[in-house]
């Protein structure tokens, strides 16, 4: 048995709703096949045999299961990828599967963090082969990461909220305890620990820091080492505050005395609320001032360093004027040009390689397995415009140095170069996008012709907008010109009504699609095969193989018959017989109908073949034979008609009848 490890990929279409399944298929088609980003997939691993192994949800037992490779009935099979070859023996693989069955119970299944793709990753790792391509499980990994980030953010917000509430409670309790201390007169010498003194502020901050480091439900000792010893009266007030805050206090100094606050104490607590708010405002204000001061310091230091470097450079320039006027500008121009032409393409290729391996592939539209060449990516579209723009900028500075008198025109030239580079980049990018789109099967009902029409319209719109932007950048008042030239525009539009009619009719043909390339059509007296469809004209090849160029406006006023889209072709033929064979007509017509019905090119769906006597003259009579032919090529139609006529003539001769009438009476 082969050591090859094969990854089987399925589209997840196990929903009860057919609409949901189609939506998933469309998502996978767009995000995987078009963009290369990923999709919603189920995966399984096949190794040593015809069984594939995967992981799924179940209430009891292991979630690891197997089924015939590529035939999981719950999903729609998509593709197989050979991951590599394992060095493990068959016995080792069986041992690995037994271990994974124990490690991956069915109840542990999680759609985002522990699904079948994670199992296949682990299985490949145990087998010693590369893991799954990134696009297989990219959607689930992105969803899991988003959930983790959201959970961490919510946890941090809750933690910050709890810290703020805890700090506020501690500050409130401490300030309330301070408010309950006995107050002395301001003139009293003993008032050395008042609320407004530096001593009280230092004690308040140290106590607040020590309180904030403890759990909110813990008590504290007012005689804690390192704190200032409070007077006995203040100690008793603080113990009474503890009883008020916690409803009961476990303290060696208060003997678990319950205390009910009086009206006076309640008024004191209410009065301290305003002081608590003011205290926190001061803290935040001081913090903001500290941060502002630090930023200002860094800014001033940076300015000092910049001024010092500038003065040194100025001294160097003053000593060597030729350096500032020639060497630096010319050297900068040469360096910028060399970087633009030799270094920047390498950097853009690195960006292209990086973008092809992460979600930025949405910009350049390539997948991991099917690498889009650099020449068809967005970075390639940016290369030439950026290269010429940087080169122009370098020589722009050089031009200011060489010819200062022309500097008044250079800003307009610079703005024009930026506009041209932007339009050039957008045009190249658009061309690459449409080229990649044309290489894929059509989606959203957009076939090749409609895509080409959109490409032409977008090109015209981009050129018009680029011309307007370029004129504005060069100082031309486009709006004034359009306003003044309104009457001339109307006259021009009237003179070019035929061209505009052809263009509008061409757009209508591109989107309504009454015919496509290769169809045989007839419009009035014009008939032929369509070989080209443009915005103003349509080219045909008539039955005589002559080229015909038809204005598109003709199709808006003529009935268009598209023979190539007909499901059936009506075929009516006249067969003359001798007048003496009149009594043989019934048998002949019945047998002709049977012969025509048995022809493989005749359709029996909507109408059966018919054959009847339609005309009687003196010397001959005429049979009318009709049937519907299937949709086929013109050569096949002629061959089928010939077979029918030969069969009819054979039947007539078989019955002893003769064909009658003149040669020109036999027509079809």
Active site residues: 42, 116
Six-digit token pair at 158? 């809750």
Alpha helices in 70-188 (DSSP H): 90-103, 116-127, 138-179
144 vs 149: CA distance, rounded Å: 9
CB 360: neighbour CB atoms within 10 A?
A: 14
Which residue carries 């680029």 as its tokens? 466
CB 382: neighbour CB atoms within 10 A?
A: 19
Which stretch of DSSP H or E encloses residue 351? helix 344-355
What residues contact residue 156 under an 8 Å CB cut-off, 6+ apart?
none
Which residue carries 């069969």 as its tokens? 647
Do 55 and 63 form a contact (C-beta atoms < 8 A)?
yes
Do 355 and 361 form a contact (C-beta atoms < 8 A)?
yes
- Residue 371 half-sphere exposure, CB side, CA atoms within 13 Å? 10
Which stretch of DSSP H or E encloses residue 43? strand 41-46
Which CA distances in Å does 506 have to 435, 493, 510, 519, 552? 22, 17, 6, 17, 6
At 603, give phi and psi (nearest 5°): -90, 135
Q: Which of 585, 591, 593, 571 is nearest to 638 (CA)?
A: 571
In DSSP terms, 53 is beta-bridged to 45, 66
**Three-state DSSP class for residue 37:** coil
What residues contact residue 173 under an 8 Å CB cut-off, 6+ apart?
211, 241, 245
User: How far separated are the first and last CA of the chain, in Å rounded?
Assistant: 68
């Amino acid at each position: 048995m082969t050591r090859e490890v094969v990854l089987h990929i399925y589209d997840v279409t196990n929903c009860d709703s057919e609409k949901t399944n189609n939506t998933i298929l469309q998502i996978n088609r767009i995000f995987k096949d078009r963009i290369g980003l990923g999709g919603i997939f189920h995966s399984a691993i096949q190794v040593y045999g015809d069984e594939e192994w995967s992981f799924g949800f179940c209430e009891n037992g292991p979630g690891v299961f197997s089924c015939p490779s590529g035939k999981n009935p719950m999903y729609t099979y998509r593709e197989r990828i050979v991951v590599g070859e394992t060095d493990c023996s068959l016995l080792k693989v069986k041992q690995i599967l037994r271990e994974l069955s124990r490690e991956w119970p069915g109840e542990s299944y999680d759609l985002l963090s522990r699904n079948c793709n994670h199992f296949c990753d682990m299985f490949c790792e145990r087998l010693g082969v590369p893991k799954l391509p990134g696009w297989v499980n990219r959607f689930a990994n992105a969803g899991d990461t988003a959930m983790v980030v959201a959970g961490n953010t919510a946890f941090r917000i809750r933690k910050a909220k709890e810290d703020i509430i805890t700090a506020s409670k501690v500050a409130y309790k401490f300030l309330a305890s301070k408010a309950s201390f006995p107050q002395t007169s301001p003139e009293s010498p003993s008032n050395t620990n008042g609320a407004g003194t530096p001593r009280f502020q230092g004690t308040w901050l140290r106590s607040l820091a020590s309180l904030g480091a403890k759990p909110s439900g813990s008590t504290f000792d007012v005689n804690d080492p390192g704190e200032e010893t409070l007077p006995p009266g203040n100690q008793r007030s603080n113990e009474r505050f503890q009883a008020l805050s916690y409803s009961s206090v476990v303290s060696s100094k208060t003997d678990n005395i319950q205390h009910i606050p009086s009206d006076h104490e309640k008024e004191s607590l209410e009065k301290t609320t305003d002081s608590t708010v003011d205290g926190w405002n001061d803290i935040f204000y001081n913090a903001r001032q500290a941060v502002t001061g630090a930023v200002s310091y860094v800014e001033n230091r940076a300015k000092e360093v910049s001024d010092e470097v500038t003065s040194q450079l100025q001294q160097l320039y003053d000593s060597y004027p030729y350096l500032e006027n020639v060497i630096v500008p010319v050297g900068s121009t040469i360096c910028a040009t060399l970087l633009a032409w030799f270094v920047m393409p390498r950097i853009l290729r690195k960006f292209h390689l990086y973008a092809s391996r992460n979600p930025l592939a949405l910009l350049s539209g390539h997948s991991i397995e099917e690498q889009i060449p650099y020449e068809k990516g967005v970075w390639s579209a940016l290369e030439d415009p950026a290269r010429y723009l940087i080169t122009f900028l370098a020589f722009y500075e050089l031009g200011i140095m060489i010819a200062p008198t022309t500097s008044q025109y250079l800003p307009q030239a610079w703005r024009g170069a930026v506009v041209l580079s932007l339009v050039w980049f957008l045009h190249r990018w658009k061309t690459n996008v449409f080229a990649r789109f044309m290489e894929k099967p059509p989606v959203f009902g957009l076939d090749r012709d409609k895509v080409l029409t959109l490409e032409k319209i977008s090109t015209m719109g981009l050129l018009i907008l680029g011309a307007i932007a370029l004129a504005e950048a060069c100082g031309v008042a486009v709006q004034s010109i359009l306003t003044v030239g309104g009457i001339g525009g109307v006259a021009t539009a009237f003179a070019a009504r035929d061209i505009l009619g052809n263009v509008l009719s061409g757009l209508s043909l591109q989107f309504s699609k009454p015919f496509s390339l290769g169809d045989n059509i007839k419009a009035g007296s014009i008939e032929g095969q369509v070989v080209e469809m443009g915005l103003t004209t349509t080219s045909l090849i008539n039955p005589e193989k002559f080229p015909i160029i038809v204005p598109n406006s003709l199709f808006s006023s003529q009935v268009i018959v598209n023979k190539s889209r007909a499901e059936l072709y009506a075929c009516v033929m006249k067969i003359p017989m001798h007048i003496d064979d009149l009594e043989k007509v019934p048998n002949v017509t019945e047998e002709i109908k049977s012969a025509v019905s048995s022809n493989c090119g005749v359709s029996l769906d909507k109408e059966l073949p018919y054959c009847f006597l339609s005309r009687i003259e003196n010397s001959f009579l005429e049979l009318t034979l009709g049937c519907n032919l299937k949709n086929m090529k013109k050569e096949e139609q002629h061959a089928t008609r010939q077979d029918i006529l030969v069969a009819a003539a054979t039947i007539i001769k078989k019955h002893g009848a003769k064909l009658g009438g003149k040669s020109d009476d036999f027509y079809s």
